Structure 1
């Protein structure tokens, strides 16, 4: 008797992306299992951010296909718009966070909640859950987002992405520029999302965070995925880390 492998939540097959005259992705193959955390690692310029932006339809794939729950959302002849992709349950936290600096924390979250026009229409239980993950957002509820610290802005960016239930979160470099204490708080919040079986695809350069969160890993180089496997296996193999990433995870505790 054979057992079919479950369909991945997200799958990229042979994806190429051009940005103007530049050929950035060169046939990316990537699968993201549902309910788990997949880390997307690689040196600077490997194509990680371009991969996330291609998934979201911000840049169109010039060849190959992007499939979500088995349905095509990207690729020649089946490119969905970014708003349509978001409506399917994907949320993207870009490296620059994408928050509105002049608006309050409250109004940033309200804008991200498609089902609510007013604060009293927000899901109160979900809002309390978010405050449990990120207590600073409750404290600074009526502060302009631009006055938050870097770590608090990152927490707001993630909170915006999860103010409504999402099927898949794409997060680009969440720990970049954060102090170690803020990174630890962010790890704890993302671990809670993981315990809730939230599906995450994370681009991250902090390898302690990658090891703490990742179930699976895909390593990119020169616009291609050159390695896939269990994050724990990569974390345990310093020779493989050196070969794929040019450094050792042990040096980034």
Structure 2
């Protein structure tokens, strides 16, 4: 399999804290790779370091063979990397439409792409001219994801997208991410919801104390409860 993203010996310090301690990982092109681990293991820091929001203090990060660890976040985004943070990054004072117009850097909004997004997240059409700050938490998450996929991306970095969402919205989100992958995107996904992880993941990486402690197929981990308990402290079903 062709590797799209590769981290080699990546360390990240935040102030006096040494968070990532020599991360080595590969994300294959065209697949969804789950990044799992206990709270505080370094998952969010890994995504933020890839995106350039926090600078790696050591090591190499390559996107399609191009070194990016010293690039600024806007430059990384222009290379085709989309980021959906756990914090649901939207512009609260702007409308849904204005949020998506800002995200579509390459030109006007594409009507076909919008219709495709509305098919998964109809609330965005309904609140098209409403301020994003007036949306519910689930609707803000829909908008955050829509901002990341309004244009085709080589790589999507997504941090716990189902957290706090109603089951119906989780199902729509799963179908949306499956369709994004079918269209050729590569996804690195942090997720605590067992059902979503099992449904979406091709591969899995498990983190602990700032390092990768397990790598393999998601289906194999989903079928091995003792391994889940050893790596995560409890079974994946307990994360639902």
Q: Is the TM value for this pair above 0.5?
A: yes
1:122 matched residue in structure 2: 109
Aligned partners of 1:130, 1:112: CA distance in 2, in Å? 14
**What aligned pairs does 1:128-167 form with structure 2 within 5 A after superposition?**
128-167=115-154
* 5+ residue gaps, structure 2: none
| Cα distance change, pair 201–147 in 1 and its aligned pair in 2 (3 A) | same
SS of residue matched to 1:61 = coil
Post-superposition shift, 1:236?
A: 0.3
1:91 matched residue in structure 2: 82
1:64 matched residue in structure 2: 59
Aligned partners of 1:15, 1:62: CA distance in 2, in Å? 7
2:183 matched residue in structure 1: 196
Post-superposition shift, 1:252?
A: 4.8
Post-superposition shift, 1:182?
A: 2.0
Aligned partners of 2:36, 2:209: CA distance in 1, in Å? 12
Which of the residues 221, 224, 229 maps onto 1:237?
224
Deviations 1:89-118 (A, max 9, x none): 0011111011011111000000111123xx
Aligned partners of 1:84, 1:196: CA distance in 2, in Å? 23
Which of the residues 95, 103, 109 maps onto 1:112?
103
TM-score, length of structure 2 as denominator length: 0.97
Aligned partners of 2:216, 2:137: CA distance in 1, in Å? 32
Post-superposition shift, 1:71?
A: 0.9
Post-superposition shift, 1:249?
A: 2.3
Alpha-carbon contact 2:9-2:22 (below 8 Å) kept:
yes
Aligned partners of 1:52, 1:152: CA distance in 2, in Å? 23
* 5+ residue gaps, structure 1: 1-5
Alignment RMSD? 1.2
